[in-house]
Structure 1
Amino acid sequence: MLSATAIRRWYWVHKWTSLVSTLFLLMLCITGLPLIFYHEIDHATGYSIEPPEMPGVTTRVSIDEIVADARARRPDDVVTYLFRDADEPEAWFLSMAETPSSPESSAFYMYDARTGDFLHEYPLNQGFMNFMFRLHYDMFTGLPGTLFLGFMGLLLAASLVSGTVVYGPFMRKLPFGSVRHERSSRIKWLDLHNLLGIATLMWLMVVGVTGVINTLAVPILGLWQQNEVTDMTAKYKGQPPLTQFSSADQAVATARATVPDADLSFMAFPGTDYATPHHYIAFMHGSTPLTSKLLTPVLIDASTGAMIDSRSMPWYVKALLVSQPLHFGDYGGMVLKILWALLDILAIVVLGSGVYLWLKKRNVPVEARLGMLAPEGATS
């Protein structure tokens, strides 16, 4: 067993990593709860719609027709990205911006993939879910806020590990999961805090670690562009930007022929952050629960529509792509989402009880608070 000195040190780590991070983690858990059901809430509030049912209709409209319609709606803007959504297989989504390199979109359209009908224009930077996402993602401060929240996730991991170490000596003379209802409210909340903390330990660790990885999305993708994309497009360096592009239909067909067992997730148009001035880059995904989250990029010459290169994503991008849906329980349909939501609520109770215990703390030694420490000098 650990010595009393070692336990005091672990307790100090648990106390201060928890105190520093708890309020931010509470905010993340509270904002993360509706984000688990982002798609469903958007539909319920009218920010998103579903394509009309057309039984037996299997035809697909030309993507170029959809692109032309979008350009006609905003003739001074450019199409930047083309999307598919696994939850809306009968729809195409297009984003537009003032220029290919604009940091913000000017419009986001939804089209029926079978008929080409314009279905919906999404309100940009509006609504309850957008507010919750921005607060959860970067606290409206951009990359510095994202990285700061990633650091809070590291503190969470340290708090979980140290709390697990401290929990063993604390529970040595109590049955596992005991809640001493006959004691003071502080003791009852302490027992409940410890019990729920252990019960949600693995989930909190998974969500915390995947959250930290997600906060590194911008550096990770920047590294991929600097290394992989730069290497694939080296021979185009110094050439003037194109003024005429091959069709989007041809680019998508080339990508599907290159990766025949996959489908399009999204395609970046020339000049955007995820492409180059001379290329489309189509990102293809598989059909299984795992491969549907992984992407294979296909580099396509924007003047001819020919395939230039296609490479598997490096391990660090794959880690990011896997962690993003896992963070929100987006792997097993509604059942996993509900489980994620229940665990999130328990995490809110753990964090809230931690704040309560700190506010009600008493000026007594750590040994008295834990009550179960081994004699000084005992070792494991």
Structure 2
Amino acid sequence: MKPSTIRRWSFVHTWASLVCTLFLLMLAITGLPLIFHHELKHLLGEAPRLREMPADTPRLDLQRLVEAAELQRPDEVVQYLGWDDEDANALTVIMAASAGTEPNASHTFGLDARSGEAFGMPSANGGLMMFFLRMHVDMYAGLPGKLLLAFMGLLFVLAIVSGVVLYAPFMRRLQFAEVRRHKPHRTRWLDLHNLIGIVTLSWALVVGITGVVSACADLLISAWRNESLAALVEPYRDAPPLQHRAPASDLLRIAETAAPGMQADFIAFPGTRFSSEHHYSVFMKGSSHLTSHLWTPVLIDAATLEVTAVGERPWYMDMLSMSQPLHFGDYGGRPMQILWAALDLLTIVVLGSGLYLWWKRRGKGREVKP
């Protein structure tokens, strides 16, 4: 590679890294506890705690559960109702002043499916885990914060690619994984920076790309609403406003008949951004590790309870659904969590050493100038 080409790639690597490093350090630090969010919620007392009941206690009718939720917050409406992955008797309810209220202004709590008793979910409304999640997702800045982090993720990917380009000519003089311990402190850190960077290369690319996709979630959901969902509810475009909403009692049975072999993950009520003004949307998922993150919406007429459509997933919604488990290592059990945490810590070392090397080189340049 020509020296001029190396200089150009070095410039790209240096400034792409510098611009995004502080944001990436924040993301790496806040992402570390999110890898173990299930375990930490239990440790912090933020996980659902249901009253002990006999194992054969039946669950209440779904409409009765909706009514129990409405009694908890009489001035609000149910937006979403979902099932907990760890305990099938724990339901998650999201309510707000109106069906179209944006997510950060909603209130989340739990319901015991057997008794209709409510329980708090601090991690969903302002607990420590929610703080980590909001900082990691949008820095409490909504869509502008998400888009800023998406741009930082793109710079991170550019820094990785440019680092790989520079790594090849750099390593011609050295053996793989060699750290020149007899050299000055800065040179040793340069070798460590390059070594850890190339070892964590694949993981960093996966986390960087999936982070960018997740940060664009609002835009992807909006595209899904405007394209796929709009096509599914086209026959209702000129329909009069919904006057009477049928009880939710039979929604699960109807959805399971329409999507055999799948199970309900959550229900979006009429008027929410995952549904329409005239439909219940029951989002079904598969039972394997892969398909449990892929949703198939079953649209049910909210007045007649007739299935009007079983939605096809567009590729970008599949990409979004798979990004979060890949981003947090939330699909391979405890070994995968430990691996993701170790790689996250190594990335913090790479970011910190990169800042250190830039600062030392900057100081060295100042000394040489006079």
Fold shared, TM-score > 0.5 on shorter chain: yes
Q: CA deviation at 1:53?
A: 5.9
Quick one: distance in 1 between partners of 2:52 and 2:5?
Answer: 64
Q: Which residue of 2 aligns with 1:310?
A: 310
- SS for the counterpart of 1:172 is helix
Q: CA deviation at 1:274?
A: 1.3
Between 165-174 and 279-288, the greater mean CA deviation after superposition: 165-174
1:90-109 maps to which residues of 2 (within 5 A)? 90-103=89-102, 104-109=104-109
- Give CA deviations for 1:285-321 in whole Å, capped at 9, x if unaligned: 0001100010001110000111000122111111111
> What is the root-mean-square deviation of aligned Cα atoms in Å?
1.7
- SS for the counterpart of 2:291 is coil
Do the aligned partners of 1:51 and 1:88 also contact (CA within 8 Å) in 2? no
- SS for the counterpart of 1:292 is helix
1:169-184 maps to which residues of 2 (within 5 A)? 169-184=169-184
Quick one: distance in 2 between partners of 1:46 and 1:111?
Answer: 17
Q: CA deviation at 1:364?
A: 7.3
Higher relative contact order (CA 8 A, sep 6+): 1
- SS for the counterpart of 1:39 is helix
Q: Which amino acid aligns with 2:171?
A: M
Q: Which residue of 1 aligns with 2:46?
A: 47
Between 34-43 and 299-308, the greater mean CA deviation after superposition: 34-43
| 1:7 and 2:6 matched | yes
- Give CA deviations for 1:152-189 in whole Å, capped at 9, x if unaligned: 11111111111111111111121110111222111111
Quick one: distance in 2 between partners of 1:229 and 1:62?
Answer: 28
Q: Which amino acid aligns with 2:87?
A: E
Q: Which residue of 1 aligns with 2:276?
A: 276
Between 49-58 and 19-28, the greater mean CA deviation after superposition: 49-58
Do the aligned partners of 1:160 and 1:201 also contact (CA within 8 Å) in 2? yes
Uncovered stretches (5+) of structure 1, i.e. residues with no partner: 366-380
Q: Which residue of 2 aligns with 1:197?
A: 197
TM-score of the pair, normalised by structure 1: 0.91
Quick one: distance in 2 between partners of 1:143 and 1:341?
Answer: 27
1:56-205 maps to which residues of 2 (within 5 A)? 56-57=55-56, 59-103=58-102, 104-113=104-113, 115-123=114-122, 125-205=125-205
- Give CA deviations for 1:100-129 in whole Å, capped at 9, x if unaligned: 11224553222223x234251223542221
Quick one: distance in 2 between partners of 1:361 and 1:263?
Answer: 57
Q: Which amino acid aligns with 1:40?
A: E
Q: Which residue of 1 aligns with 2:235?
A: 235
Q: CA deviation at 1:55?
A: 6.5
Q: Which residue of 1 aligns with 2:368?
A: none
Q: What percent identity do the matched residue pairs reach?
A: 47
Quick one: distance in 2 between partners of 1:282 and 1:22?
Answer: 41
Do the aligned partners of 1:95 and 1:105 also contact (CA within 8 Å) in 2? no
Quick one: distance in 1 between partners of 2:362 and 2:225?
Answer: 53
Quick one: distance in 2 between partners of 1:52 and 1:231?
Answer: 44
Do the aligned partners of 1:107 and 1:122 also contact (CA within 8 Å) in 2? no
Do the aligned partners of 1:84 and 1:92 also contact (CA within 8 Å) in 2? yes
Do the aligned partners of 2:49 and 2:119 also contact (CA within 8 Å) in 1? no
Q: Which amino acid aligns with 2:101?
A: S
Q: Which amino acid aligns with 1:152?
A: M
Do the aligned partners of 2:13 and 2:158 also contact (CA within 8 Å) in 1? yes
Quick one: distance in 1 between partners of 2:161 and 2:244?
Answer: 57
Q: Which amino acid aligns with 2:277?
A: P
Q: Which residue of 1 aligns with 2:341?
A: 341
Q: Which residue of 1 aligns with 2:267?
A: 267
Count residues with an aligned counterpart.
363
TM-score of the pair, normalised by structure 2: 0.94
Do the aligned partners of 1:51 and 1:119 also contact (CA within 8 Å) in 2? no
Quick one: distance in 2 between partners of 1:254 and 1:105?
Answer: 31
Do the aligned partners of 2:48 and 2:120 also contact (CA within 8 Å) in 1? no
Q: Which residue of 1 aligns with 2:300?
A: 300
Between 40-49 and 219-228, the greater mean CA deviation after superposition: 40-49
Q: Which residue of 2 aligns with 1:286?
A: 286
Q: CA deviation at 1:351?
A: 0.3
Quick one: distance in 1 between partners of 2:209 and 2:45?
Answer: 33
Quick one: distance in 1 between partners of 2:357 and 2:207?
Answer: 24
Q: Which amino acid aligns with 2:222?
A: G
Uncovered stretches (5+) of structure 2, i.e. residues with no partner: 366-370
Q: Which residue of 2 aligns with 1:19?
A: 18
Q: Which amino acid aligns with 1:68?
A: E
Q: CA deviation at 1:62?
A: 1.2
Quick one: distance in 2 between partners of 1:102 and 1:165?
Answer: 47
Quick one: distance in 1 between partners of 2:51 and 2:75?
Answer: 30
- SS for the counterpart of 2:174 is coil
Between 329-338 and 290-299, the greater mean CA deviation after superposition: 329-338
Residues 289 and 81 of structure 1: CA distance in aligned 2, closer, same or farther (over 3 Å) = same
- SS for the counterpart of 1:244 is coil
Q: Which residue of 2 aligns with 1:255?
A: 255
Q: CA deviation at 1:241?
A: 2.1
Quick one: distance in 2 between partners of 1:105 and 1:282?
Answer: 23
Higher share in helix: 2
Quick one: distance in 2 between partners of 1:91 and 1:174?
Answer: 57
Do the aligned partners of 1:65 and 1:116 also contact (CA within 8 Å) in 2? no
Q: CA deviation at 1:354?
A: 0.4
Quick one: distance in 1 between partners of 2:125 and 2:84?
Answer: 20
Do the aligned partners of 1:278 and 1:303 also contact (CA within 8 Å) in 2? yes
Quick one: distance in 1 between partners of 2:118 and 2:222?
Answer: 34
Quick one: distance in 2 between partners of 1:305 and 1:120?
Answer: 30
